[in-house]
Amino acid sequence: MPIELPLNAMSVEEKVQLLEQVWDNLCRQSGDVRSPEWHAVILNERKRQIENGTMAVSLWSEAKERLQKLGK
């Protein structure tokens, strides 16, 4: 069932809020949802980059604040 949202009319802040609502809803539901294999490949590569010091990480609160500033 396709769902159409006015994404082009939404600000970055509104899109982040939408994603948070969807994620919160998914977290409340139980189910056996398996990640595709390519997720593990990417996560392992990112872990290697963090361990090598070639990638930095941010707290979610900091990343969220940066995204919200982009929408203003």
Helices (H), 1-72: 12-28, 37-52, 60-70
Give pLDDT, residue 50.
94
What are the sequence ranges of the domains in the chain? 37-72
* CA distances for 18 relative to 13, 28, 56, 67, angstroms: 9, 16, 26, 13
Give pLDDT, residue 28.
86
Q: What is the pLDDT along the chain (72 residues), one digit of tens a residue?
A: 899 999 999 999 999 999 999 999 988 886 777 889 999 999 999 999 999 999 989 999 999 999 999 877
Give pLDDT, residue 1.
84
